[in-house]
Amino acid sequence: MKALKFTLPIIALMLLVSCSSVRVAADYDRQTNFNELKTYAFFKPGIDKAEISDLDKKRIMYAIDAEMAAKGFMKSENPDMLISIFTKEKERVDVYNNAGFGWGPYWGWGWGGYSNVTSHTEGSLYIDIIDAKKKELVWQGKGTGSLPETMDRKEERIREFVKQILSQYPPGSEK
């Protein structure tokens, strides 16, 4: 019984941490000199195509502005780079089968089990950085994780996605 009291909080904490994590990946053009890219603007045609609400687009752009400013980049009318976004989402279904041999008060000794099915929405946010002069994609970051069901955590979750993705930019700046 003591082991159960100890392990249940650990399992709950692991589930909480695994749900909140954002998996990130980045790819970039190795021929690009990222030290030359100091100013940015949003690429409106690309952002307009993102299949999310206008409110979420604003939340993402505010979060990008905050992260870029923290890295020392400046917004400009004549930018070195353009930033665009797009999103994907999918329903993730997990099936857990639990079976075993044991005793039950109504059925005695025997083999039994049950299945537990859970589903949640998993989303991916892509942030593209385009060289404004060449009009070429030079960096792309992707963050994938669970999306909140409620509005109260949505803004916080978006900031977390953007922060984790842009932690990979510029290349070589990862901590």
Of the given ranges (3-12, 43-52, 125-134, 153-162), which has the lowest mean pLDDT? Answer: 3-12
The mean pLDDT of 47-67, rounded to a whole number, is 95
**pLDDT greater than 90 at residue 74:** yes
Under the banding of pLDDT at 50, 70 and 90, the label for residue 20 is low
Cα 61 to Cα 46: distance, rounded to the nearest angstrom: 12
Residue 40 clears pLDDT 50, i.e. is over it: yes
* Tens of pLDDT, residues 108-160: 666 666 667 776 678 899 999 999 999 999 999 999 998 777 777 888 999 99
pLDDT at 103: 60
User: Is the distance from CB of 40 to CB of 76 less than 8 angstroms?
Assistant: yes
List, in sequence order, every residue forming a beta bridge with 24; answer none if it has no partner. 143
% of the chain residues with pLDDT over 90 = 58
Q: Give the residue with greater pLDDT, 151 vs 22.
A: 22
Assess whether pLDDT exceeds 90 at residue 162: yes
User: How many alpha carbons lie under 13 Å from residue 125 in its C-beta half-sphere?
Assistant: 29
Looking at every residue in the chain, the average pLDDT score rounds to: 83
CATH class of 22-166: alpha beta
Question: Which residue is associated with the tokens 């083999």?
Answer: 111
**What's the helix, strand, coil split of the chain in %, to 5?**
35, 40, 25
User: What average pLDDT does this structure show over 72-96?
Assistant: 89
Higher per-residue confidence, 93 vs 89: 89
Contact, 97 vs 62, CB < 8 A?
A: no
The reported pTM is 0.74
Percentage of residues in the chain having pLDDT higher than 70 = 71
